[in-house]
Amino acid sequence: MAKVILRKKIDAEEAKTFSEVRLYARKIWLAGLGAYVKAGQEGAEYIKDLIKTGEQTEKKARKVIDEKVEAANSEIDSVKGEVKGEVSKAKGRVEVQIDKIETAFDRRVASALNRIGIPSKHDVETLSAKLDELTALLERVARKQ
């Protein structure tokens, strides 16, 4: 009889232990299921929050980039204006120097031609003017006779 009572006690404890194991297994199952659902819900919200943050960051970055591009373009335009001004000044100085060189060259060529006995343009023009005067005088004298 003692064995039967002992056996019933053991069976009752085994049943209680199995019942507790089932209860804990169910709680673990429900906790896992709850974690899965919560992660799905919060994950979707978290992704939406990440997207929103990304969009805001992109807007800020675009604004900064646009400002930097505008500043760079402005600087390029001002440098372009300065360069054009310097080019114009340099061009003017070069033209003046070319004129001086041409004048000096013309004088030297005229001097060299004069030394070898070739008359200058001025000499030819002066001579031509005198010839025109003489021709006119001769024509007048010829008419008078």
List the chain pLDDT tens, one digit each, 145 residues.
555 565 666 666 766 777 787 888 888 888 888 887 887 777 778 778 888 998 999 999 999 999 999 998 988 888 888 888 888 888 888 888 989 999 998 888 878 878 888 887 888 899 899 999 999 998 888 888 7
For the chain, the 3-state helix, strand and coil shares in percent, each to the nearest 5, are: 95, 0, 5
Domain ranges, ordered by start, for the chain: 2-144
C-alpha distances in angstroms, 63 versus 56, 59, 68, 70? 11, 6, 9, 10
pLDDT of residue 10: 62
pTM (predicted TM-score): 0.40
Nearest to 112 by CA among 120, 124, 102: 120
pLDDT of residue 107: 87
